Structure 1
Amino acid sequence: MKIGITCYPTYGGSGVVATELGIELAARGHQIHFITYSQPFRLTGREANIFFHEVTVTNYPLFEHPPYDLALATRMAEVAEFYSLDLLHVHYAIPHSVSALLAKQMLADRNRTLPIITTLHGTDITLVGLDRSYLPITRFGIIRSDGVTSISEYLCDRTREAFNVTSEIAVIRNFVNCDVYVRKPELVAAMRPRFAQPNERLLVHLSNFRPVKRVLDVIEVFARVSRALPARLMLIGDGPDRSLAEHLALHHGIQDRVHFLGKQDNVNELLPLADLMLMPSEMESFGLAALEAMACSVPAIATRVGGVPELIDDQINGLLFEVGDVDSMADAAVRLLLDQTRLNELATAARKTAQDRFCASRIIPLYEDYYRRVIDRT
């Protein structure tokens, strides 16, 4: 198939999933065309069967805010027509689904068909889409798409409730390449000394550092852990709360034990170095960062929110707590890090969960089947 993919190419879950999906589909022989304003950060530009089409927006003095959504619709239509795309798969409803509908109509006027699939990722439904300024157009984009998928049962239910959607929403959960995200002892032995001494535990957090990720809670938890045992913390990612996190680490006097790594392309090499993942988010529609860690045999301490319980089974492959309960999270982390046998049990179960339920080899065929269903009925 020839598949167009549009996503936000920045450091965030929806962009990561869309990019990894494109990479996996390309590896299976499909021709993938990314249509967005910059190359998705996880693409190297050297992948076979993958093409990137930049969306450029002209700045006129008349426009206080350049109309990216209109430029995107035009570029979608151009690419779809030139390359004879079989379908367009857009990730994150706002504004991508609406731009796709415009592109579809532009092509229909030229007697060309372009099936559209929208994947809902989280804040496009639970935050942005619920804003009164966007709710009607978000609902319009969802119900007019030829196919809709969500990354968790939680998000599917939330979408039906919030937007009164009665049409089909296929739940196709996030995935991870279990051959790429895996703990390799020789690599761990070579890289871990850069971040922790042999007698120190290493914790990790991965996010876009937005308030919903509660990175300040990560610092609070680690401050308590580091008072109980020798430990260090890797923070992977960047965003608006980074400076606040740095200030809080300085306040607790732990700045010399916290590694702010910024955005990293080699997440699959960094995660296996850790003993434990911290994901104290206020909301997660799925919890992709935790899944990537779990595939690397790193269990997560996370919050019992959104779709996270669909991924983490409390006390079996990770630990779940209420939002903001940093004391309980820290106490549990300390007990776990001091009990290697229990930590190994959770790590083994975490890896098995990723392999059995969320490996790309299991999830990508679900997308392929759904693509064919949508194409056949449009």
Structure 2
Amino acid sequence: MRIVHCVSSLKVGGAEKCVKNLIKVQKQKGFDVEVLSFGDKSDAFQYDIESLGVNVINVKGNILTRLLKAIHYLQGFSTIHIHSPAVIKAFAPIFPVLIFKNVIYTIHGEVEPPIGFIKGSHKLAQCYINKVFGVSESIKKGIRQRYGWNSHDVTVINNGVYCPTLPHQIAKQPILNLCTVCRLVPLKNITQLVEAFARYELGHLATLNVYGDGPERGVIERLVEVHKLHDSVILHGEVLNEDAIYDHQDILLINSTTEGLPMSLLEAMARGIPVISTSVGQIPKLIQHGENGFIYDVGDIESWHKLILSQIHDRDKLMQVGQHAFAFIKQHYAIDDVSAIYEAAYR
């Protein structure tokens, strides 16, 4: 069995990270797996995937060149796993080639990308797709409006993450390490957290580690400068090594105004790191407040502050919540279990 995962790019994103996790476990299991990407060789996750010994083919050039390359490459695989609506569109002119393949399609995004001919290409794709997965119930329920497909044809599958054998040891240092892991854009609302750090003078109780980059970085840097937070708010930039991010963290903060199901939440919980998050998107379906994490309403920064203080002062409770988070993710989101579901579809 030869499997090729097809993506629009290997830039940093939730779908791309899920693909990377899936490829890693499939490679470890001995599958013959490769990647077809319409992105650039410089894409962040391409190096990570190639370092696993997995071949990545970048399909570039004009439309005719890309199609000829894709046809030539796809013929060598029995199973084609597509992870992007943009790939469905790109494959529309060569759909006869795909009719004779086992084609799996996973829909990762809650919102359709703003590109043309999406509905038309997906209508055509019904001729060759053998199995459709969606990473949330909302994707399954909205599939008729989205593409005109029957929701019964979509199987919900969780995004998978790696789970260590044991949860991390947290809350052992006098000052807690809090972190955010996201693209620095307005909807992530990191500026509000930095302002709250200054207003409530949290710098003597905790450190806020900001991982990620984006258009809001300059605004955050100015806030750090104005409020003299250089010792308590640290901007690390974009870091791809998950262990380098999470190994010394005690709490993950998510302050988004809108979300689907962020991979950072799964990654932190998988390591036994509790999450304090706004109650948006799929997050309230995972987090049972006070049991395996904490949630608060968007904009309710006073409740956020109370949650921070309670975790700082009750370390035993924080460690217990972290253990519950670890157990929950291990039961429902372990990458080995997710991969096993896909492997059944590949056969």
Deviates more, 1:8-17 or 1:277-286: 277-286
Q: 1:41 aligns with which of 40, 44, 48?
A: 44
Aligned equivalent of 1:56: 60
Residues 1:101 and 1:88: Cα distance change in structure 2 (over 3 Å):
farther
User: Per-residue deviation at 1:337?
Assistant: 1.8
User: Per-residue deviation at 1:162?
Assistant: 4.3
Aligned equivalent of 1:183: 168
Encode CA deviations 1:251-292: one digit per residue, 9 max, x unaligned: 333233222112223212321311110112233222210110
Residues 1:140 and 1:28: Cα distance change in structure 2 (over 3 Å):
same
- Is the counterpart of residue 153 in structure 1 residue 147 in structure 2? no
Letter in 1 for 2:160: F
Work out the CA distance in 1 between the residues paired with 2:262 and 2:82.
Answer: 20
Is the CA contact (8 Å cut-off) linking 2:176 and 2:207 kept in structure 1? yes
Aligned equivalent of 1:227: 202
Is the CA contact (8 Å cut-off) linking 1:120 and 1:149 kept in structure 2? yes
User: Per-residue deviation at 1:249?
Assistant: 2.8
Is the CA contact (8 Å cut-off) linking 1:98 and 1:141 kept in structure 2? no
User: Per-residue deviation at 1:11?
Assistant: 1.2
Work out the CA distance in 2 between the residues paired with 1:134 and 1:140.
Answer: 10
Give unpaired runs (5+ residues) of structure 2.
none
Is the CA contact (8 Å cut-off) linking 1:4 and 1:33 kept in structure 2? yes
- Is the counterpart of residue 116 in structure 1 residue 116 in structure 2? no
Aligned to 1:362, what secondary structure does the other structure show? helix
Residues 1:347 and 1:244: Cα distance change in structure 2 (over 3 Å):
same
Is the CA contact (8 Å cut-off) linking 1:214 and 1:280 kept in structure 2? yes
Letter in 2 for 1:38: D
Work out the CA distance in 1 between the residues paired with 2:338 and 2:235.
Answer: 32
Aligned to 2:55, what secondary structure does the other structure show? strand
- Is the counterpart of residue 265 in structure 1 residue 256 in structure 2? no
Aligned equivalent of 1:17: 18
Q: 2:80 aligns with which of 88, 93, 112?
A: 88
- Is the counterpart of residue 79 in structure 1 residue 62 in structure 2? no
Letter in 1 for 2:119: P
The alignment's TM-score, normalised by the length of structure 2, stands at 0.87
The alignment's TM-score, normalised by the length of structure 1, stands at 0.80
User: Per-residue deviation at 1:71?
Assistant: 5.5
User: Per-residue deviation at 1:180?
Assistant: 8.2
Residues 1:166 and 1:225: Cα distance change in structure 2 (over 3 Å):
farther
- Is the counterpart of residue 199 in structure 1 residue 199 in structure 2? no
Aligned to 1:314, what secondary structure does the other structure show? coil
- Is the counterpart of residue 294 in structure 1 residue 299 in structure 2? no
Deviates more, 1:318-327 or 1:356-365: 318-327
Letter in 2 for 1:12: G
Encode CA deviations 1:121-167: one digit per residue, 9 max, x unaligned: 22xx42535x8x56634753775533221112233223345444315
Residues 1:87 and 1:5: Cα distance change in structure 2 (over 3 Å):
same
Aligned equivalent of 1:140: 123
User: Per-residue deviation at 1:368?
Assistant: 0.8
Aligned equivalent of 2:88: 97
Aligned equivalent of 1:4: 4
Give unpaired runs (5+ residues) of structure 1.
59-66, 190-197, 373-378
Encode CA deviations 1:11-63: one digit per residue, 9 max, x unaligned: 11111111111111111111111111235534252324x211122235xxxxx
Work out the CA distance in 1 between the residues paired with 2:316 and 2:238.
Answer: 33
Aligned to 1:255, what secondary structure does the other structure show? coil
Aligned equivalent of 1:193: none
RMSD of Structure 2 on Structure 1 (CA): 2.8
- Is the counterpart of residue 173 in structure 1 residue 177 in structure 2? no
Work out the CA distance in 2 between the residues paired with 1:261 and 1:286.
Answer: 23
Is the CA contact (8 Å cut-off) linking 1:182 and 1:272 kept in structure 2? no
Q: 2:259 aligns with which of 276, 284, 301?
A: 284
Work out the CA distance in 1 between the residues paired with 2:125 and 2:288.
Answer: 31
Work out the CA distance in 2 between the residues paired with 1:169 and 1:201.
Answer: 42
Encode CA deviations 1:144-193: one digit per residue, 9 max, x unaligned: 533221112233223345444315111111111113895278xx99xxxx
Aligned equivalent of 1:194: none
Aligned equivalent of 1:312: 287
Corresponding pairs, count:
340
Work out the CA distance in 2 between the residues paired with 1:318 and 1:153.
Answer: 21
Letter in 2 for 1:136: K
Work out the CA distance in 1 between the residues paired with 2:220 and 2:14.
Answer: 21
Residues 1:243 and 1:156: Cα distance change in structure 2 (over 3 Å):
farther
Aligned equivalent of 2:342: 367
Is the CA contact (8 Å cut-off) linking 2:88 and 2:122 kept in structure 1? no
Letter in 2 for 1:178: C
Work out the CA distance in 1 between the residues paired with 2:167 and 2:104.
Answer: 31
Aligned equivalent of 1:62: none
Tell me the percent identity.
22
Work out the CA distance in 1 between the residues paired with 2:223 and 2:324.
Answer: 33
User: Per-residue deviation at 1:246?
Assistant: 1.9
Residues 1:41 and 1:202: Cα distance change in structure 2 (over 3 Å):
same
Work out the CA distance in 1 between the residues paired with 2:219 and 2:112.
Answer: 23
